[in-house]
Amino acid sequence: MELTHKEIPREFLENLPRGIRYARRNGRDHLIVEQAFCPNGHSLMVDNVRLHGEPSIKLRMQFDDASGFIFVDSFWGSHDKLYSFIPTARDLGLAGGDVQCAVCNCSLLVDHPACEACGNDRFIQMLLPGSSSKILVCAKLGCPEHELIANDLSPELSEIVSDINYHGL
């Protein structure tokens, strides 16, 4: 798999939120989630499962019929994932399912205005260091919608960064 380059605004690079770092790979700019936490302060990052050479974000998925872990690529905008289990077609809709911290099992799902891409109103919330900045990801599997919310980031810049997606990896 190859990461596709997307332009990152200079203004954002000059004011990177804590927990996100800039990396230059093969002559191209990328953003990498370096630290993410549950509401109880547990790190969601794991070094033992790496995607594209970087630690991944480990989440517990709990359904009626199945449960296990999902490892999410930490490259901002990538949608690569590895599963420790095989969810059923019914499970994938997340109806009645939960996404949790892999350490303390607290739910990471939050209510959110309807997703512009798919209409879903549940998002996975991951806190960046200091917990005033956060990442929101649409909880509907396959939906690419994600959002970075940082206090010192203008809404316009937040929207530009949130629109960075690497489809077709």
Q: What is the pLDDT of residues 30-87, one digit of tens each?
A: 889 999 999 999 999 999 999 989 999 999 998 877 789 999 999 888 878 888 887 7
Cβ-contact 78, 108 below 8 angstroms: no
Residue 100, pLDDT > 90, answer: yes
Cα end-to-end distance, the chain, whole Å: 6
| Phi, psi torsion values for 65, nearest 5 degrees | -105, -10
Within its chain, how far is the Cα of 2 from the centroid? 19
At residue 8, does pLDDT exceed 90? Answer: no
- pTM for this one? 0.87
Q: Pick from 95, 108, 100, 81: which is nearest to 140 by CA?
A: 95
What's the rounded Cα separation, in Å, for the pair 148 and 126? Answer: 10
Cβ contact 99:83 at 8 Å: no
Q: What's the pLDDT tens digit per position in 152-164?
A: 788 888 887 877 7
Q: Which of 79, 72, 80 is nearest to 56 (CA)?
A: 72
Q: What pLDDT score does 96 carry?
A: 61
